[in-house]
Amino acid sequence: MILSLSYQAKLFITTVVWGFILAFLYDAIKVLRMAVKHKKIFVYIEDAVYWIAVVLVVFLVLLGVSFGEIRVFCVAGVFLGMALYFSAVSPLFLKVSEKVVNAVKWVIRMFIEILLTPFRLLWRIFKVPCKKTGNFVTKISKKTLHLSGMYAKIYSKKWFKNLGILLKKI
């Protein structure tokens, strides 16, 4: 299908904007990686899913806007939008995002510290009595288990003796 020059210009600008948006989404994934540490395998999986989604989005945009025709200037527009974003906006966005992520992590860490402080104080107060009680209970339980083992041997001999008598009767 033959497209007018103005429609081709609109299509090119649309693909540049979509490239900008897709590059921003990749930076959002980078911010997520800053916030929560990922293993390399998950980074590879995220990247693969991202690029599959990019191909799908570009195809759907081209399907809706240029009737499914893949034109070189459309693909170039997507990559130009990505390049513009990564060169102009991305460094600033990542710096600000890193500061925000670090601030949120600090606030969460302080909140947890505030919540755990009473328990730490209680532990400092009751640490020595708890350890002494634990040692006492350990000694008692070892003696009890030792004695129960001796009783189990005595009763098992009687049990096997009675079992043998019962088996002989049958």
pLDDT bucket at 164, cuts 50 / 70 / 90: low
Question: What percentage of the chain's residues is helix, strand, coil (to nearest 5)?
Answer: 90, 0, 10
**In terms of residue numbers, what domain contains 80?**
5-102
Q: Give the pLDDT score at 71.
A: 81
The answer to the question of residue 20 being in a domain is yes
Give pLDDT tens digits for 2-27: 677 888 888 889 889 989 999 999 99
> Residue 141, Cβ neighbours under 10 Å: how many?
10
Q: Give the pLDDT score at 112.
A: 93
The answer to the question of residue 134 being in a domain is no
Report which of residues 87 and 154 the model is more confident about: 87
Q: Please say if the pLDDT value at position 151 is more than 70.
A: no
Question: Hey, what are 112's tokens?
Answer: 């947890």
Give pLDDT tens digits for 26-38: 999 999 998 998 8
The answer to the question of residue 166 being in a domain is no
The answer to the question of residue 97 being in a domain is yes
Q: How many domains does the chain have?
A: 1
The model carries a pTM of: 0.64
Task: Characterize 26-47 residue by residue with b for buried, 16 or more Cβ atoms within 10 angstroms of its Cβ, and e for exposed.
Answer: bbeebbeebeeeeeeeeeeebe
The answer to the question of residue 21 being in a domain is yes
Do residues 19 and 78 make contact, with C-beta atoms less than 8 angstroms apart? yes
Q: Give the pLDDT score at 89.
A: 93
The answer to the question of residue 47 being in a domain is yes
Give pLDDT tens digits for 74-88: 889 989 999 999 999
Q: Chain centroid to CA 45: how far?
A: 13
The answer to the question of residue 88 being in a domain is yes
d(C-alpha 3, C-alpha 67), whole Å: 10
Q: Which amino acid, 57?
A: V
Please count the helices (runs of H) and the strands (runs of E) in the chain. 4, 0
The answer to the question of residue 94 being in a domain is yes
